[in-house]
């Protein structure tokens, strides 16, 4: 191995004492391959088995915590105890390859397609549609329903523990329900869950508290709890870097094992609420001030780019699309074969890469998402 890539293979001990074998994380990515009843399919198990041998930690695609939180066709569920066996198969598949298995827990909120939720009842913090063509106007959740969803995040965490996962990641990013409560665009409530910036943090912080409570009661002390967030929104009003600094500051006090920023480009600059000449990653790291590890992510393909992400202050680096295109990325870097790492795909690569049909169709038919040659 080239010595300049050694930082990628340093072990990392998290706050809870859990040791990760290296600093590379498989990012959570929807693969559209589960059965209609929410159980994990054999195609998904093969997909994860193919990619879990190198990374120190694998964060799964998101799993919905309530039936009305299903955000994608082919998404697997964590919403009932009947899903535990399905989840167990996924956890075992990942762990057998040597990676820590972390289940991402999620509710889609207003982003859920109406045909995927019971009675087409799409819900959110407020009855405000997303700024997207064809977006439905969601129903505003009652306070009692909000409390039920908070508890559901805890219940799904218990199922993850019983299924043998090494941790959970609360999905507070990418415009889904947790972010919808934090956003001034989607949250226009006047009760305890909305209004001021502090009240808009009530829901995400309550989920953190509930998850931590379940972990303390049910799990081994080494069980991992992480939180993913998006630093800004394009909408007006919308989340600004100033808002995110407040949320990240609160999260950094929660004794979490890591935070995970969601970025399309790791070096993207701030848009609003901070110095626009500085990167979002830099600003977030400044706010965290060493209190908890941060996973950096965003169009990282080469080992040089991954090392640069660590040098910027990230404790770990997540690879998403790159691990779909190159399942052996970690092994090739370790073996000094980085010149062989593939950074494009062709239409003939599906079988070799072990990618489920629906995900492969999305890759091939979504111009600009993947570099398809």
Write the pLDDT tens digit of every residue in 297-355.
999 999 999 999 999 999 999 999 999 999 999 999 999 999 999 999 999 999 999 99
Using alpha carbons, select from 259, 281, 261, 286 the residue that is nearest to residue 270: 281
For 93-129, the pLDDT digits (tens) are 999 999 999 999 999 999 999 999 999 999 999 999 9
Crossing angle for the helix pair 143-163 and 84-96, to the nearest 10 degrees = 50
State how far Cα 141 lies from the chain centre.
Answer: 24
Q: Taking Cα atoms as reference points, which of 192, 73, 57, 193 lies closest to residue 124?
A: 193
Q: What is the pLDDT of residue 287?
A: 98
Q: What is the pLDDT of residue 258?
A: 98
Provide the 8-state DSSP code for 345. B
Distance CA 277, CA 371 (A): 29
Confidence tier at 242 by pLDDT (50, 70, 90): very high
State how far the Cα of 50 lies from the Cα of 350, in Å rounded to an integer.
12
Tokens at 128, concatenated:
């405000």
Q: What is the pLDDT of residue 142?
A: 98
DSSP assignment of 173-224 equals -TTSHHHHHH-TTT----STTSSSHHHHTHHHHHHHHHHHHHHHHHS-TT-E
**Per DSSP, what are the bridge partners of residue 26?**
58, 319
pLDDT confidence tier of residue 227, bands split at 50, 70 and 90:
very high
> Which pLDDT belongs to residue 126?
98
Q: Say how far apart CA 266 and CA 294 lie, in whole Å.
A: 12
Residue 316's pLDDT is what?
98
**Close Cβ partners of 111 (under 8 Å, ≥ 6 residues apart):** 71, 130, 175, 176, 177
The whole-number average pLDDT for the span 155-161 is: 99
Mean pLDDT of 193-219: 98
Identify the pLDDT of residue 54. Answer: 97
Strand partners, 20: 12
What DSSP element (H or E) covers 261?
Answer: strand 258-261
Q: What is the mean pLDDT of residues 254-261?
A: 98
- pLDDT score for 370: 95
Span 53-68, pLDDT tens digits: 999 999 999 999 999 9
Tokens of 366: 């979504």
Active site (catalytic) residues: 176
Q: Record the tokens describing residue 74, joined without a space.
A: 């082919």
The domains located in the chain, with CATH, are 3-346 (3.20.20.70)
Report, as an integer, the average pLDDT of 209-235.
97
């Amino acid at each position: 191995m080239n010595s300049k890539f050694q930082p990628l293979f340093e072990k990392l001990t998290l706050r809870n004492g859990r040791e990760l074998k290296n600093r590379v994380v498989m990012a959570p990515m929807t693969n559209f391959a589960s059965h209609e009843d929410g159980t994990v399919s054999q195609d998904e198990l093969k997909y994860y088995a193919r990619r879990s041998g190198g990374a120190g930690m694998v964060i799964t695609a998101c799993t919905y915590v309530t039936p009305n939180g299903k955000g994608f066709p082919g998404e697997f569920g964590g919403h009932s105890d009947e899903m535990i066996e399905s989840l167990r198969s996924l956890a075992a598949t990942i762990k057998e390859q040597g990676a820590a298995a972390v289940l991402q827990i999620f509710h889609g909120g207003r982003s859920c397609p109406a045909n995927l939720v019971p009675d087409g009842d799409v819900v959110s913090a407020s009855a405000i549609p997303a700024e997207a063509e064809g977006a439905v106007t969601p129903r505003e959740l009652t306070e009692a329903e909000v409390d039920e969803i908070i508890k559901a995040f805890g219940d799904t965490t218990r199922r993850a523990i019983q299924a043998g996962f090494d941790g959970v990641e609360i999905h507070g990013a990418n415009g889904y329900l947790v972010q919808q409560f934090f956003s001034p665009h989607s949250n226009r409530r006047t009760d305890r869950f909305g209004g001021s910036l502090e009240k808009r943090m009530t829901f995400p912080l309550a989920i953190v508290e509930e998850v931590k409570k379940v972990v303390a009661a049910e799990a081994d002390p080494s069980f991992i709890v992480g939180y993913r967030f998006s630093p800004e929104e394009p909408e007006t009003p919308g989340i600004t870097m100033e808002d995110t600094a407040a949320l990240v500051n609160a999260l950094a006090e929660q004794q979490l094992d890591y935070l995970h920023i969601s970025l399309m480009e790791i070096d993207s600059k701030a848009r609003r609420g901070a110095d626009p000449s500085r990167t979002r990653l830099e600003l977030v790291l400044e706010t965290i001030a060493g209190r908890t590890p941060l996973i950096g992510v965003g169009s990282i393909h080469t080992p040089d780019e991954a090392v640069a992400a660590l040098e910027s202050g990230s404790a770990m680096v997540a690879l998403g699309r790159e691990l779909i295109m190159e399942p052996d990325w970690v092994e090739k870097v370790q073996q000094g074969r980085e010149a062989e790492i593939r950074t494009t795909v062709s239409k003939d690569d599906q079988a070799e890469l072990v990618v489920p049909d629906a995900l492969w169709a999305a890759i091939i038919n979504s111009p600009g998402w993947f570099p398809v040659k």
